[in-house]
Amino acid sequence: MQCPSCHFENMPGVEACGRCGAVLRVASMAIDVNPPRAKRKGGHWRAWYPFLRRWQSAKHGIAPILTLARQGLDEFSRTRPTWGLLARMFVPGWPQFFAGDAVRGRIMLWGYLAAMPLGLLFIGTFFGSMLIGSALALHASSVVDFIFAGTARWPIRIAYLILCFVVLAGAIYVPAHWAFSQVVVPQRIARTAPPLYAGDVILYNPSAYVRAEPRLGDVVVYEVPAGRTPAAVGNVVYAIGGLRIDRVLAGPGQTIEIKEDGIWVDGRQSPWRPLNEELLPLSLKLTVPDGCHFIFLSTDPIIPAFRLMEFAVVPSNQIRGRVFMRSQPLWRLTSFR
> What is the average pLDDT value for the chain, to the nearest integer?
83
Q: How confident is the model at residue 152 (pLDDT cuts 50, 70, 90)?
A: confident
| pLDDT score recorded for residue 123 | 93
| pLDDT score recorded for residue 30 | 63
Long-range Cβ contact pairs of 190-193 (< 8 A, separation 24 or more): 191/301, 191/302, 192/301, 193/276, 193/298, 193/299, 193/300, 193/301
**Most confident region among 11-15, 85-89, 179-183, 259-263 by mean pLDDT:** 179-183
The CA distance from 104 to 142, in Å, is 9
Mean pLDDT is lowest, of 88-97, 212-221, 234-243, for 234-243
* Section 45-58 average pLDDT: 68
Report whether pLDDT(145) > 70: yes
Q: Yes or no: say if 22 and 5 are a contact pair by the CB < 8 Å rule.
A: yes
pLDDT in tens, 66-116: 776 676 666 655 555 667 777 888 999 998 888 888 999 999 999 999 999
Report whether pLDDT(289) > 80: yes
* Section 262-280 average pLDDT: 89
Tell me the domain boundaries of the chain.
1-29, 83-181, 187-335
CATH of 187-335, picked from 3.30.420.10, 3.30.2350.10, 2.10.109.10, 3.60.150.10, is 2.10.109.10
The CA distance from 86 to 144, in Å, is 11
Which of 257 and 234 is assigned the larger pLDDT?
257
| pLDDT score recorded for residue 39 | 65
